[in-house]
Structure 1
Amino acid sequence: MHTEILDYEADGLAMQSHLYLDGEWSDRRPGVLVFPEAFGLGEHARSRAERLAELGYVTLACDLHGEGRVHDDLEAVMGLIGPLQKDPERTRARARGGLEALLGRPEVDAGRIAAIGYCFGGTMALELARSGIGIAGAVGFHSGLATAAPDDAKNISGKVLVCIGADDPGIDAAQRAAFEDEMRRGGVDWRMHLYGGVVHSFTNPDAARLGRPEFARYDAGADERSWNEMRAFFDEVFGPIH
């Protein structure tokens, strides 16, 4: 497995993202951006990027806060994320920075790019799609679905998959319904998978460290199902990669 740090600037920040590339191929491969949870680019997102690279994709686990910073305090993190939620252009700028860095790699097929993300990272993947930049697909795992620019759904040209805990207190039925309406009005090819009895951060084995099991809790079943649903989604949007 080849790994390296890609340095670039986005939204005025010096980003340090992790590239993963498995083996040597003569053909260009699909590329996948992996956006992390709100705390920043930690082990969770990096491990998912590495798993995708093992499947044959070129992946970039993207920095969120600049200089590779990872935060521990939830209140402090929400103070950083709040302004991004109010200003989608800033969120999109950080996502585009990662996209441009990935597109700069000679191993990547520029016509086959997708973005996935976890928690706020899922929001980033969706905002990148809403920007109209032309990625083939966007996948959100326990991702915030709300946006300050819902009319921009009409710009989405790729397909959308979101995987949500049905009992996630941060992504309630009203937010899901608003997202469905947004996708319909935008004419988007979208799908949503709900997992009963599942709350936030269900893909992260370290979710218990937050100490709020009623809000964030790992669920092995939903983790596996959502991963497999993403793989099927990628087979659909990318076609064979070997």
Structure 2
Amino acid sequence: MISKLTPLAAGIALSIAAGHVAAELQTRTVNYTVNGTDFTGYLAWDDNYEGKRPGVLVVHEWWGHNEFARDQAEKLAEAGYTAFALDMYGSGKVTDHPKEAQQFMEEATGDIDALQARFSAAMEQLKKHETVDDDHIAAQGYCFGGAVVLNMARLGMDLDGVVSYHGSLGSPIEPETGDITARIQVYTGGADQMVSAAQVGTFTTNMQEAGADFSVTSFPGVQHSFMNPGADAIAEEYGMPVGYDAEAAKRAWDGTMRFYQQIFDR
């Protein structure tokens, strides 16, 4: 008996016979070391896109390098970028408890030079991937990660742009005019109890004084962690003032995609 293949199955069979592998989303776990400490990152790219493309660093929330950060890297890969969800704490330092997350965050932010070294090492991991145009790099971060990418911009790192989602806007770094070369986008919640209106105002003043190219979008009534679908469970379990907002998350993501198209001229 001879069975007939569907058109899709026939195409797959022909590709296999010809020695071709179907283009698809690719991911890879990357282990690297910074100043004697081990870190674990996550690369994502899509073979449907040919040639070199811009790279985007993804900096996790204060929970550490978790599934949410990796999911964001995969979304960027599907949009045509090569993304690297980096690790700012060290391999295995990930939690779902606020007290431990606070401890991890304070340890990481206690030394800005060490923080920059970790970010720089991750950027080099991204740049050396064969799909990446290493002249075109951006970074986006969430919560703790949002503060990190803004601080890297303040330090004048060679980035085309940075995007902060519900990240802290305060910083001990005081850039002078011309120090910030990266373009900046900030998305924040109007009801975010961790990022006050006063903090937004101070950030705006500081960026204007530094001559930065930046924008701030505030979503009325939206709480902290609005990008993360897991925020509602955290709010319920620990009584934290956080919450997912699907509309704000979509608007922020769509705005980010337009931003990358502009800065990378795609």
* TM-score bucket (shorter structure): over 0.9
1:20–1:59 contact (8 Å) kept in structure 2: yes
In structure 1, what is the Cα distance between the partners aligned to 2:78 and 2:112? 32
Give 1:234's aligned residue. 260
Query: How far off its partner does 1:157 sit?
Result: 0.5
Q: 1:176 to 1:87 in 2, by over 3 A?
A: farther
1:88–1:149 contact (8 Å) kept in structure 2: no
Higher RCO structure (Cα 8 Å, ≥6 apart): 1
Give structure 1 regions of 4+ aligned residues with deviation exceeding 4 angstroms: none
1:153–1:183 contact (8 Å) kept in structure 2: no
Query: How far off its partner does 1:89 sit?
Result: 2.2
Give 2:134's aligned residue. 110
Where does structure 2 lack aligned partners over 5 or more consecutive residues?
1-24
State which drifts further: 190-199 or 75-84.
Answer: 75-84
2:155–2:173 contact (8 Å) kept in structure 1: no
Map 1:58-77 to 2 at 5 A: 58-77=82-101
Give 2:78's aligned residue. 54
TM-score w.r.t. the length of structure 2 is 0.85
Give 1:15's aligned residue. 39
Query: How far off its partner does 1:8 sit?
Result: 1.5
What secondary structure, in the 3-state scheme, does the structure 1 residue paired with 2:202 have?
A: helix
Give 1:39's aligned residue. 63
Q: Between the two proteins, what is the percent identity of the paired residues?
A: 33
Query: Which residue identity lines up with residue 226 of structure 1 in the other structure?
Result: A
Give 1:189's aligned residue. 213
Give 2:249's aligned residue. 223
2:141 is equivalent to residue 78 of structure 1: no
Query: How far off its partner does 1:193 sit?
Result: 0.4
Please provide the CA RMSD for this pair.
Answer: 1.7
What secondary structure, in the 3-state scheme, does the structure 1 residue paired with 2:175 have?
A: helix
1:87–1:148 contact (8 Å) kept in structure 2: no
Where does structure 1 lack aligned partners over 5 or more consecutive residues?
none
Give 2:13's aligned residue. none
Query: Which residue identity lines up with residue 189 of structure 2 in the other structure?
Result: G
* Aligned mate of 2:149, from 112, 122, 125: 125
Query: Which residue identity lines up with residue 123 of structure 2 in the other structure?
Result: L
Query: Which residue identity lines up with residue 59 of structure 2 in the other structure?
Result: F
Q: 1:11 to 1:188 in 2, by over 3 A?
A: farther
Q: 1:230 to 1:130 in 2, by over 3 A?
A: same
TM-score w.r.t. the length of structure 1 is 0.93
Give 2:8's aligned residue. none
2:225–2:242 contact (8 Å) kept in structure 1: yes
Query: Which residue identity lines up with residue 206 of structure 1 in the other structure?
Result: G
Q: 1:161 to 1:11 in 2, by over 3 A?
A: farther
After superposition, give the CA deviation of every residue in 1:96-133 in whole Å (9 maximum; x if it has no partner): 12101111112111111000010001111112222222
Q: How many residues align?
A: 240
Query: How far off its partner does 1:134 sit?
Result: 1.3
In structure 1, what is the Cα distance between the partners aligned to 2:89 and 2:108? 11
What secondary structure, in the 3-state scheme, does the structure 2 residue paired with 1:21 have?
A: strand
Give 2:233's aligned residue. 209
Query: How far off its partner does 1:85 sit?
Result: 3.5
What secondary structure, in the 3-state scheme, does the structure 2 residue paired with 1:151 have?
A: coil
After superposition, give the CA deviation of every residue in 1:162-204 in whole Å (9 maximum; x if it has no partner): 1000110100011111111111111100000000000100011
2:187 is equivalent to residue 163 of structure 1: yes
Query: Which residue identity lines up with residue 220 of structure 2 in the other structure?
Result: G
What secondary structure, in the 3-state scheme, does the structure 2 residue paired with 1:3 have?
A: strand
1:165–1:199 contact (8 Å) kept in structure 2: yes
